Amino acid sequence: MRTVDAPASGFPPVLLEHPATIRDVAHAAAVSVGTASKALNGQGKLRAETIERVRAAAAHLEYRPNDLMQSVLRKRTFTVGLLTTEGGRFTMPMLQGIEDVLATAHISVFLCLAVDNPDRERQHLDSLLAKHVDGIIVVGNITKRPPVDIGRSRTPVLYVFTYVHERNALSLLPDNEGGGALAAMHLVHGGRRRFAHITGPADWEAVRLRLEGMRASLAEYGLDLPTDHVLAGPWHPAWGFEAMHQLLDRDSAIDAVFCGNDEIASGAMDALRERGRHVPGDVAVVGFDNWEQFALATRPPLTSVDMDVYELGRRAGSRMLALMSGERESGIVRLPCRLVVRASSAPRPAGIGN
Amino acid sequence: MRTVDAPASGFPPVLLEHPATIRDVAHAAAVSVGTASKALNGQGKLRAETIERVRAAAAHLEYRPNDLMQSVLRKRTFTVGLLTTEGGRFTMPMLQGIEDVLATAHISVFLCLAVDNPDRERQHLDSLLAKHVDGIIVVGNITKRPPVDIGRSRTPVLYVFTYVHERNALSLLPDNEGGGALAAMHLVHGGRRRFAHITGPADWEAVRLRLEGMRASLAEYGLDLPTDHVLAGPWHPAWGFEAMHQLLDRDSAIDAVFCGNDEIASGAMDALRERGRHVPGDVAVVGFDNWEQFALATRPPLTSVDMDVYELGRRAGSRMLALMSGERESGIVRLPCRLVVRASSAPRPAGIGN
DNA sequence: ATGAAAGCGCTAACAG
DNA sequence: CTGTTAGCGCTTTCAT
């Protein structure tokens, strides 16, 4: 038993200028290209000895079948385009989830970045179609203008973190409303009664949904979220800081703050400290995004809602595989968030408070 | 003058099941495929009327030349593989820089993520070679094992954020040593004299280089960095916090701290506050990475060394284009860091201090 | 069991 | 000016 690519394989030590083709292999093995093809793909009936010879030749020449040709023949490229208008913190874990699933299925991914650049988006789209990708995943942000349309191409499209108004389009999104509800429920269970919400720009859909979820959840417990306890502003610690001060001016008895993201929560906690309010003794704080670098850097560590972006990416990958194999789903799918509980929202000690 | 794809174009409203091929176009325009090809590519001499007719047919059928075939013919795919073992915060801006340059040159990018997964790395590499990419960019981290080798393929490879020990390999890296020097120089110019350095794991090359740069720079001013003023630990705020306390215990007169990254700096500043040391009045702090969310969240905002990762990405893209067009550079290229000055390192008031 | 030949979509060389 | 032909690398009948 010898290694196929050992010097003893009997082939001349030819190093081709260009990558070996199946013809080179066939020639080296002294068979026809048709036979070589069969030997390499295990098709048809060949003598074991022949197969071995071809395989050896291929190994010796470092032959790699040209995917491009195989794609042309099979009318499938086993590639998908990943078109994103986002370059933020969620993009990377998202990509990892998608890529993970697709790579496992031996699907390659074209990375198409088009942050704030519609022309580039159009260009990428054209390129993807010209490359005959088997599918396109559009990762976006709802507040921005809808992604350019794909025309009447048959290529399946999956929208993630965004959606288009069009029947038979399939979108994958985090369940922001559920996330808001999760936070509220947790705070209520922790014995909190006077709520406030500091969040991001009012025109973000996520902002609206998280608030709605919070409200709905509180309502179920017969609790109210006064309008003047909801403050919208930029996604920034400074805003959380300022807003928290405003809230305490309005109502010093607030005992629970749900923040639209972790940066805001971080700023809010700074303000609480400045005002001598203890977290979580006096006020419980819950953030959103579970951005670990932030959530773990606050003192105490921040309880936060996690959209599980990596998992969202994995689901996106799976759905894409389904679409590629002909399945035709549509609609908006929302994936649940989960709550990561840390010290900032520890239950108020029993018997204290109103 | 009419729009080519208007109903008046005179072509039957046939919607093909499969993407139109050049044959469909030729047929619709009643010419041979050869003629159609010429008309579409502006080759040879054709009657203007013929060209127009073919163009119209192509537009009507939404014809898109199949890049795969063009690639086969031209022996160039106009694609590059982007193989990365990193999924951290630097990856995204890096990708954006690379993609930006390559997309402008109409080169498509295969995204290959292989974080902590050598098997996946191998798989991706095989796939890239099978897809006949025109080049491969390997983005990595020096502390980890070297990327798997590319074999004796002719495909040019560019290493970014990592390098291999092999002549005629080309690597692009940030100038960590220069960055350390930059920080030290700035602190000296701000009137500081007693230095400390809190940094990351000692086995990181970046850690070693930043320290060396700092030392060398201080030496130029006749200043010393005592060994017990250098503390290595994890890249984490908690470490910065702990280390800063240790340092103050050893030497309460320290007036400048250079931190290996911004997270450590953030923790260090917390400790300084706890110890009643004012920043920058008593102690100046400089971080590394210029991670805005962190650097702007500290109070006062943090001065930090910026590796300009996006620009590094752009350079990588350009170098790759050069490699693809046959240029054969090699060696290790270091790109300069720049200092982003904020309040945490404001010069010590004149006349105060030793 | 193997080889010859056709065809995938496209370009380029060569005839007319 | 336009059509025909060959060929890129590979798979797949169809002969032999």
Write out pLDDT tens, residues A7-26. Answer: 444 555 555 567 889 999 99
SS3 A109: strand
| Residue A280 preceded by cis peptide, ω within 30 | yes
| Side chain identity at residue B123, one-letter code | Q
Q: Name residue, tokens 């930090």.
A: B304
pLDDT at A153: 73
Q: Report the alpha-carbon distance of residue A304 to residue A130 in Å, rounded.
A: 43
**Shortest CA gap A58–chain B (Å):** 14
Q: Report the alpha-carbon distance of residue A79 to residue A199 in Å, rounded.
A: 39
Q: Which of residues 231-260 of A touch B (CB under 8 A)?
A: 237
pLDDT at B306: 98
Contacts of A88 in chain B (CB under 8 A): 92
- The band of B274, judged by pLDDT with boundaries at 50, 70 and 90, is very high
What the block records as the tokens of A67 is 């995917």
Q: Report the alpha-carbon distance of residue B14 to residue B307 in Å, rounded.
A: 55
- The band of B273, judged by pLDDT with boundaries at 50, 70 and 90, is very high
Nearest nucleotide over every DNA/RNA strand to the B35 CA, judged by C1': D2
SS3 A155: coil
Nearest CA in chain A to B65: A130
- Whether A340 and A334 have beta carbons less than 8 Å apart is answered as no
Q: Is residue A152 over pLDDT 70?
A: no
Q: Is B298 on the interface with A (CB under 8 A)?
A: no
Q: What is the mean pLDDT of residues B97-123?
A: 95
Angle, helices B205-220/B176-189, rounded to nearest 10 degrees: 40
Q: Is residue B311 over pLDDT 90?
A: yes
| Side chain identity at residue A12, one-letter code | P
Contacts of B121 in chain A (CB under 8 A): none
SS3 B348: coil
Q: Is residue A143 over pLDDT 60?
A: no
- Whether B323 and B158 have beta carbons less than 8 Å apart is answered as yes
Q: Flag if A130 and B100 touch (Cβ within 8 Å).
A: no
Q: Is residue B333 over pLDDT 80?
A: yes
- The band of A206, judged by pLDDT with boundaries at 50, 70 and 90, is very high
Nearest CA in chain B to A108: B110
Q: What is the mean pLDDT of residues B334-340?
A: 98
pLDDT at B10: 57
pLDDT at B1: 27
- The band of B275, judged by pLDDT with boundaries at 50, 70 and 90, is very high
Question: Residue A344 region, left (φ>0) first, then alpha (ψ -120 to 50), else beta?
Answer: alpha
Q: What is the pLDDT of residues B163-205, one digit of tens each?
A: 888 878 899 999 999 999 999 999 999 999 999 999 999 999 9
**C1' (C10) to CA (B71) span, angstroms:** 10
Q: Report the alpha-carbon distance of residue A126 to residue B165 in Å, rounded.
A: 40
Calculate the CA dihedral of residues B314, B317, B323, B328 and round it to 10 degrees.
30
Task: Tell me the CA end-to-end span of chain B in Å, nearest whole number.
Answer: 83
Q: Report the alpha-carbon distance of residue B285 to residue B342 in Å, rounded.
A: 10
| Side chain identity at residue A253, one-letter code | A
pLDDT at A215: 98
Residue A308 CB contacts under 8 Å (≥ 6 apart), including other chains:
A174, A335, A336, A337, A338
Q: What is the pLDDT of residues A41-58, one digit of tens each?
A: 988 888 999 999 999 999
Region of poorest pLDDT, from A50-59, A150-159, A223-232, B53-62: A150-159
Q: Report the alpha-carbon distance of residue A354 to residue B10 in Å, rounded.
A: 80
Q: What is the mean pLDDT of residues B206-231?
A: 97
On average, the pLDDT of chain A sits at 90
Contacts of A120 in chain B (CB under 8 A): 103
**Shortest CA gap A109–chain B (Å):** 6
Strand A256-259 vs strand A284-288: parallel, antiparallel, or unpaired? parallel
Calculate the CA dihedral of residues A213, A214, A215, A220 and round it to 10 degrees.
90
pTM, full prediction:
0.91
SS3 B73: helix
**Shortest CA gap B116–chain A (Å):** 12
- CA–CA–CA angle A91, A241, B259 (5° rounding): 65
pLDDT at B167: 79
Q: What is the pLDDT of residues A278-299, one digit of tens each?
A: 999 999 999 999 999 889 888 8
Residues 231-290 of chain A with CB under 7 A from strand C are none
- The band of B321, judged by pLDDT with boundaries at 50, 70 and 90, is very high
Q: What is the mean pLDDT of residues B18-22?
A: 87
pLDDT at A141: 75
Residue A155 CB contacts under 8 Å (≥ 6 apart), including other chains:
A128, A129, A133, A134, A135, A136
Q: Report the alpha-carbon distance of residue A67 to residue B213 in Å, rounded.
A: 47
Q: Which residues of A193-227 are buried (b: 16+ CB within 10 A; e: fewer)?
A: bbbbbbbbeeebebbbbbbebbbebbeeeebebee
Q: What is the pLDDT of residues B45-98, one digit of tens each?
A: 888 899 999 999 999 998 989 999 999 998 999 999 999 998 889 999 999 999
pLDDT at B165: 83
To test the contact with chain B by mutation, choose from A92, A136, A150 the residue with the greatest count of B C-beta atoms within 10 A, namely A92
Q: What is the pLDDT of residues A337-353, one digit of tens each?
A: 999 999 999 998 764 44
Q: Report the alpha-carbon distance of residue A228 to residue A246 in Å, rounded.
A: 10
